[in-house]
């Protein structure tokens, strides 16, 4: 969390993350270009072409891994640290993809009377399926990677607002699709080894398979956590969760009849207080219900943004706010009014020591 905009707020975890990322990219390129059977000036392929393929295939693998992180973290929270600094992963992918373009423009597009950028757009006008200028697809994918990398900083998240920023960054799926087509209409039409279609197919299978598994798991969770409406004169109340099902200092997600999710927390020194707030973190829409209480605050599992459970406000000097829900006790159950209160509205918790609010 930060109240100012610094280029990067380094911490030990980010340094480890970026170090591992750099090691991954470095090892991949070194293996590809130097120590793998195809040497830098391979007898089987030109050196410049080898560099194009090294950067291009590395960027494709990185994009595949990036798209796996989200569903993996949904399926197993131990993968959340990979999500924590995923933006650096994305920015690094953009740089590797740019190196691929650099290698292409310095060779295939070079030495021509035409400007390389003009050449890229006009030298192949065959738009049939097999002859399609697959380079255009790669350029479109790179443009998306650029837009995402350029707006990856929290300044842009605040400037654009989280919903717009999120939509912009969901373009990563379009980017992935463009890259798959770029490879399918390019390399797969040129090389004859079955290893390439198998690897592209595996990438598609893993990415789509993990997303489907995560979606199924989430749908199951929603069904299990669905709160039945009970109505009431003073609001649209639902029977949210049994009190004894709440683990102190752990979040619990409740799916409300309107499809919204609420995050319910039991907290306090003896776990005597219960509050509910929106499940959607104000930062990047992370699932607060999967978070924990840390230093007395609800803490988002994605990037550690924190909120007072009774007000939905981040502790000063931070200014983020999330909506809160009215809660009350009904016997062994926590009841929630499904009408969310405006972000940052203080609402009294259930006090178990008093038998309810």
Partner 1 sequence: MSRRPFFVGYLAMPRALAMFLAVVTGVLLGTGAVVATVTVQEQNDWGDGGFQWGEGRQTRTGIVMADPYPVLFLPPNADHPFGQTLPLSGAGKTGVQTSAREMQGAPVDVSGIILRRDDFEMIQVSGNNGLVAAADPAPLAGWSGPEIEALGRVTLKGELLDSKCFHGAMRPGEGKTHKLCANLCLIGGVPLTFMIRRPDGSVESLLMADQEGQEVTGPLLDHVSQFVELTGELERRGDLLVFKVDPETVRRL
Q: Which of residues 234-293 bind partner 1 (CB under 8 A)?
A: 245, 247, 250, 291-292
Evaluated on CA atoms 242, 245, 249, 254, the torsion sign reads: negative
Say whether residue 109 binds partner 1 (CB under 8 A).
Answer: yes
Residue 65: count other Cβ atoms within 10 Å of its Cβ: 19
Q: Which of 5, 22, 81, 167 binds partner 1 (CB under 8 A)?
A: 81
Q: Which of 18, 49, 222, 236 binds partner 1 (CB under 8 A)?
A: 49
Say whether residue 14 binds partner 1 (CB under 8 A).
Answer: yes
Residue numbers 52-71 binding partner 1 by CB under 8 A: 53-54, 57-58, 61, 65
Taking each helix axis from N to C end, the angle separating 47-75 and 195-224, rounded to the nearest 10 degrees, works out to 20
Q: Minimum distance from CB of 214 to partner 1 (Å)? A: 16
| H or E, element range at 158 | helix 154-160
Residue 206 sits at φ, ψ, to 5 deg, of -65, -45
Q: Which of 74, 303, 326, 328 binds partner 1 (CB under 8 A)?
A: 303
Which two tokens mark 223? 């069904």
Three-state DSSP state, 226? strand
How far, in Å, are 80, 242, 323, 337, 346 from residue 232 at the CA level?
39, 19, 21, 9, 21
With vertex at residue 71, the alpha carbon angle to CA 319 and CA 176, rounded to the nearest 5 degrees, is 95
Residue 323: count other Cβ atoms within 10 Å of its Cβ: 21
Minimum CB distance to partner 1 smaller for 189 or for 258: 189
Say whether residue 111 binds partner 1 (CB under 8 A).
Answer: yes
Q: Minimum distance from CB of 169 to partner 1 (Å)? A: 18
Q: Minimum distance from CB of 183 to partner 1 (Å)? A: 10
Minimum CB distance to partner 1 smaller for 80 or for 352: 80
Say whether residue 43 binds partner 1 (CB under 8 A).
Answer: yes
With vertex at residue 349, the alpha carbon angle to CA 298 and CA 331, rounded to the nearest 5 degrees, is 120
Minimum CB distance to partner 1 smaller for 34 or for 339: 34
Say whether residue 294 binds partner 1 (CB under 8 A).
Answer: yes
Minimum CB distance to partner 1 smaller for 68 or for 175: 68
Concatenate the DSSP letters of all residues of 17-75 into one string: HHHHHHHHHHHHHHIIIIISSS-TT-SSS-HHHHHHHHHHHHHHHHHHHHHHHHHHHHH
Say whether residue 115 binds partner 1 (CB under 8 A).
Answer: no
Minimum CB distance to partner 1 smaller for 110 or for 205: 110
- Residue 253 burial by Cβ neighbours in a 10 Å radius (0-12, 13-18, 19+): buried
Residue numbers 200-239 binding partner 1 by CB under 8 A: none
Q: Which of 7, 190, 231, 316 binds partner 1 (CB under 8 A)?
A: 190
Q: Minimum distance from CB of 258 to partner 1 (Å)? A: 26
Q: Which of 50, 262, 274, 313 binds partner 1 (CB under 8 A)?
A: 50
Q: Which of 75, 91, 119, 217 binds partner 1 (CB under 8 A)?
A: 119
Q: Which of 22, 131, 163, 209 binds partner 1 (CB under 8 A)?
A: 131
Say whether residue 125 binds partner 1 (CB under 8 A).
Answer: yes
Question: How many amino acids of this chain bind partner 1 (CB under 8 A)?
Answer: 80
Q: Minimum distance from CB of 236 to partner 1 (Å)? A: 27
Q: Minimum distance from CB of 291 to partner 1 (Å)? A: 8
Long-range contacts of 61-66 (CB under 8 A, 24+ apart): 61/28, 61/203, 62/25, 62/89, 62/92, 62/93, 62/96, 63/93, 63/172, 63/175, 63/176, 63/179, 64/176, 64/203, 64/206, 64/207, 65/89, 66/90, 66/93, 66/172
Q: For the window 132-151, what string marks contact with partner 1 as x by the rule CB under 8 A?
A: -xxx----------------
Which two tokens mark 205? 């299978």
Minimum CB distance to partner 1 smaller for 120 or for 281: 120
């Amino acid at each position: 969390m930060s109240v100012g905009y610094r280029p990067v707020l380094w911490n030990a975890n980010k340094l480890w993350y970026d170090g591992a990322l750099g090691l991954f990219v470095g090892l991949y390129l070194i293996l590809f270009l130097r120590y793998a059977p195809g040497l830098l000036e391979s007898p089987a392929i030109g050196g410049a072409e080898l560099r194009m393929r090294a950067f291009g295939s590395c960027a494709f693998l990185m994009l595949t891994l990036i798209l796996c992180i989200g569903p993996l973290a949904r399926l197993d929270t131990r993968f959340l640290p990979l999500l924590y600094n995923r933006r650096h992963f994305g920015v690094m992918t953009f740089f590797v993809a740019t190196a691929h373009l650099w290698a292409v423009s310095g060779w295939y597009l070079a030495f021509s009377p035409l400007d390389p950028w003009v050449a890229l757009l006009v030298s192949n006008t065959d738009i049939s399926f097999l002859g399609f200028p697959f380079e255009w697809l790669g350029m479109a994918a790179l443009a998306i990677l650029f837009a995402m990398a350029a707006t990856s900083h929290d300044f842009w998240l605040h400037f654009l607002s989280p919903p717009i920023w999120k939509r912009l960054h969901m373009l990563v799926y379009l980017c992935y699709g463009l890259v798959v087509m770029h490879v399918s209409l390019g390399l797969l039409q040129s090389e004859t080894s079955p290893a390439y279609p198998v690897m592209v197919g595996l990438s598609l299978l893993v990415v789509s398979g993990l997303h489907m598994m995560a979606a199924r798991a989430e749908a199951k969770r929603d069904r299990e956590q669905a709160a039945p409406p009970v109505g009431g004169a003073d609001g649209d109340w639902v029977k949210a969760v049994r009190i004894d099902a709440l683990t102190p200092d752990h979040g619990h997600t409740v799916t409300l009849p309107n499809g919204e999710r609420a995050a319910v927390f039991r907290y306090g020194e003896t776990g005597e207080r219960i509050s509910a707030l929106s499940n959607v973190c104000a930062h990047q829409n992370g699932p607060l219900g999967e978070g924990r209480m840390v230093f007395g605050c609800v803490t988002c599992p994605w990037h550690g943004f924190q909120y007072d459970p009774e007000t939905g406000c981040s502790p000063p000097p931070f200014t983020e706010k999330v909506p809160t829900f009215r809660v009350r006790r009904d016997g062994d159950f926590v009841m929630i009014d499904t009408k969310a209160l405006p972000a940052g509205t203080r609402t009294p918790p259930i006090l178990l020591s008093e038998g309810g609010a």
